[in-house]
């Protein structure tokens, strides 16, 4: 059978290092009856080792040629292929049970951020996620406040999930090899949000706004949300930069801004 040519427009880099694949499967440690969903199975390099462990696997794939290849080689009793763009796919169609899905994928670098936000919007059905991403992005996902990697992505993902760096993946593990190192990250949704906010849309907007001016004091980025005095009332220094604030501080700022904007209940 002719080998599938990786397509640049899909950001395809196929995983070919079998030892690394087995290490990833061990890290996931799925039970036989796990409801596993693989995003972008490609030529099945991870799909088949997963099927050595799990009874059935769901896969979301956009490339029609790869869908045909997978469906020819793997029985539909073992593998259900959803022909769809993962950025638009409703993962609740697989299961809408709380914490039901274990998601894994070698994500194309060009869609990894919007795809993670798409999955976060369905977080209630997800038990955990294991992704192979550009190492630079994994560094941002697991970053701590005060580091150069700490930013909007760090805050928004860590609001929902515990983020753990598992291991680095060299370019030679792929065909064709990418020009950057990759890494595996585990995202585990919090059973209880550590710093819940009263208005999530406002929280997301506030975080986005302050990080557009990440080199400036937060009093500048927060002008449309809170006054300097209101920031100080939270025991937060208005002169700090956004990357010096932790998740707890961002949640406190968002909750104060939400309370400020709430219509008065006084008669």
Residue 185: closest CA among 27, 17, 15, 38: 27
Average pLDDT over residues 237-259: 97
Give the bridge partners for 169, in sequence order: 182
Cα 164 to Cα 167: distance, rounded to the nearest angstrom = 9
The confidence score (pLDDT) of residue 178 equals 77
The DSSP bridge partners found for residue 36 are 57, 102
Q: What is the pLDDT of residues 201-223, one digit of tens each?
A: 999 999 999 999 999 999 999 99
Cβ atoms of 168 and 120 closer than 8 Å: no
Helices 200-211 and 152-160 sit at what angle, rounded to 10 degrees?
150
Distances (CA, A) of 23 to 17, 118, 120, 127: 10, 27, 26, 20
The mean of the pLDDT values for the chain is 92
In sequence order, what are the residues at sequence separation of 6 or more whose Cβ sits closer than 8 angstroms to the Cβ of residue 189? 99, 123, 126, 127, 128, 160, 161
**pLDDT value at position 10?**
43
Backbone angles phi, psi at 80, to 5 degrees: -105, 115
> 8-189: which CATH topology?
Rossmann fold (3.40.50)
Distance CA 101, CA 58 (A): 10
Could you please state the CATH topology (level 3) that the domain comprising 200-260 is classified under. Answer: Helicase, Ruva Protein; domain 3 (1.10.8)
Q: Per-domain residue ranges for the chain?
A: 8-189, 200-260
With 0-12 CB in 10 A as exposed, 13-18 as middle and 19+ as buried, what is 70? buried
Q: Report whether pLDDT(243) > 80.
A: yes
**pLDDT beyond 80 at 173:** yes
| Position 248 confidence tier, pLDDT thresholds 50, 70, 90 | very high
* Residue 189: strand pairing partners: 161
Minimum mean pLDDT among 65-69, 222-226, 236-240, 259-263: which range?
Answer: 259-263
Residue 224's Cβ-count burial label (10 Å; 0-12, 13-18, 19+) is exposed
Residue whose C-alpha is closest to residue 120's, from 167, 146, 155: 155
């Amino acid at each position: 059978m002719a080998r599938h040519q990786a397509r640049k427009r899909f950001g395809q880099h196929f995983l070919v290092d079998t030892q690394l694949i087995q290490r990833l499967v061990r890290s996931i440690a799925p039970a036989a009856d796990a409801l596993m969903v693989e995003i972008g199975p490609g030529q099945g390099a991870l799909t088949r080792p997963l099927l050595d462990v799990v009874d059935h696997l769901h896969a979301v794939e956009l490339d029609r040629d790869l869908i045909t290849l997978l469906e020819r080689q793997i029985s539909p009793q073992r593998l259900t292929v959803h022909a769809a763009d993962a950025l638009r796919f409703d993962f609740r169609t697989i299961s809408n049970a709380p914490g039901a899905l274990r998601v894994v994928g070698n994500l194309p670098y060009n869609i990894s951020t919007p795809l993670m936000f798409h999955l976060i919007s369905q977080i209630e059905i997800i038990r955990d996620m294991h992704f192979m991403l550009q190492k630079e992005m994994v560094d941002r996902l697991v970053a701590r406040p005060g580091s150069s990697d700490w930013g909007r992505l760090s805050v928004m993902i860590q609001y929902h999930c515990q983020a753990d760096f598992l291991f680095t993946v060299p370019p030679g593990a792929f065909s064709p090899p990418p020009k950057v190192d990759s890494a595996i990250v585990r995202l585990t949704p919090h059973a209880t949000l550590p710093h819940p906010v009263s208005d999530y849309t406002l929280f997301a907007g506030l975080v986005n706004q302050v990080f557009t001016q990440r080199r400036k004091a937060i009093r500048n980025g927060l002008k449309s949300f809170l006054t300097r005095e209101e920031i100080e009332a939270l025991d937060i220094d208005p002169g700090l930069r956004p990357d010096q604030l932790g998740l707890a501080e961002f949640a406190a700022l968002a909750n104060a801004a939400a309370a400020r904007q709430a219509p008065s209940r006084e008669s």
